[in-house]
Amino acid sequence: MINRSNCLQIMLGSVIIFFLVGCSTKDKTKNLTDSIRVALRKKGCDANSVSIEYVDENCSVNARVVDGGIQICNKFFNYEFRDQVSFIWHEVFHLNNDKPSGKSSLLLEDPVYIGNVPVDIIDYINNVVNADLEDYSKQIAYNRMISLSEIRDSVYYENEIAAYQQEINTIKDVSSQYDAERKFMLWKHTASLDIAKKYLRK
Ligand SMILES: [Zn+2]
């Protein structure tokens, strides 16, 4: 009901079409998240008491934990339903298992490159994520994906490693595209933790 009255107010303003699209996404999100909760329950994960809210933002992530609830961003809708179920499973895992981590991060003047990148990760970055780029842009995009421009608290990486590991072990039915993505994320967080530990020792 709150959404509807917000929609009405905004429709009286000048940017009618843009906000109408926004409203329908909120309505669609409610139906979608209800279906995701049902799918999760079948997998033994109870997300009924968790708030799942759509934010009209192009975040770098599909979904995230904010203030004890889950927010889903625009990128979330680019994936298959079974992947979306896996995303929410991952965020519920964070809510239930994360250790408190420091919020601050160390911004680096020059990026730190992760060494010894496995062949399957190189292949994933060049032939899946950046497949359509020209060679020059491909190299820049590759370098960005295998480097860190900031160092976060090591507990942040530990929480992500635990969430991805458990997600991969538990939710097997995902698209091959997302399966490769989450394995990349697990590799990157693991390598980042090693780098963070070295920096924290300095
Ligand atoms: Zn995560």
pLDDT in tens, 55-65: 988 898 999 99
Within 10 angstroms of residue 151's Cβ, the number of other Cβ atoms is: 20
Q: Which residue has the tokens 């409610």?
A: 30
CA of 63 to the centre of ligand 1 (A): 8
C-alpha to C-alpha distance for 66 and 54, rounded to whole angstroms: 12
C-alpha to C-alpha distance for 60 and 19, rounded to whole angstroms: 23
Between the alpha carbon of residue 184 and those of residues 53, 54, 146, 191, 201, the distances in Å are: 26, 25, 10, 11, 26
CA of 10 to the centre of ligand 1 (A): 34
* Per-residue model confidence (pLDDT) at position 9: 34
Residue 147, pLDDT above cutoff 60? yes
* Per-residue model confidence (pLDDT) at position 50: 95
C-alpha to C-alpha distance for 118 and 124, rounded to whole angstroms: 10
Tell me the average pLDDT of the chain: 88
CA of 94 to the centre of ligand 1 (A): 7
Count how many Cα atoms sit within 13 Å of the Cα of residue 10 in the half-sphere of its side chain. 15
Within 10 angstroms of residue 137's Cβ, the number of other Cβ atoms is: 11
- What is the reported pTM? 0.85
Within 10 angstroms of residue 118's Cβ, the number of other Cβ atoms is: 9
CA of 89 to the centre of ligand 1 (A): 10
Kindly state the helix (H) or strand (E) to which residue 82 belongs, with its residue range: helix 81-97
Domain-wise residue ranges, the chain: 2-79, 105-201
For the chain, give the percent of residues with pLDDT over 70.
87
Within 10 angstroms of residue 109's Cβ, the number of other Cβ atoms is: 5
CA of 17 to the centre of ligand 1 (A): 34
For the chain, give the percent of residues with pLDDT over 90.
78
* Pair 87, 79: CB distance under 8 Å: yes
CA of 167 to the centre of ligand 1 (A): 10
117: Cβ contacts below 8 Å, ≥ 6 apart:
146
pLDDT in tens, 96-145: 999 999 888 999 999 999 999 999 999 999 999 999 999 999 999 999 99
CA of 160 to the centre of ligand 1 (A): 5
pLDDT in tens, 18-31: 444 555 667 778 88
CA of 131 to the centre of ligand 1 (A): 25
CA of 95 to the centre of ligand 1 (A): 10
Of residues 14 and 96, more confidence is placed in 96
112 three-state secondary structure: strand
CA of 179 to the centre of ligand 1 (A): 14
Region 135-158: mean pLDDT is 95
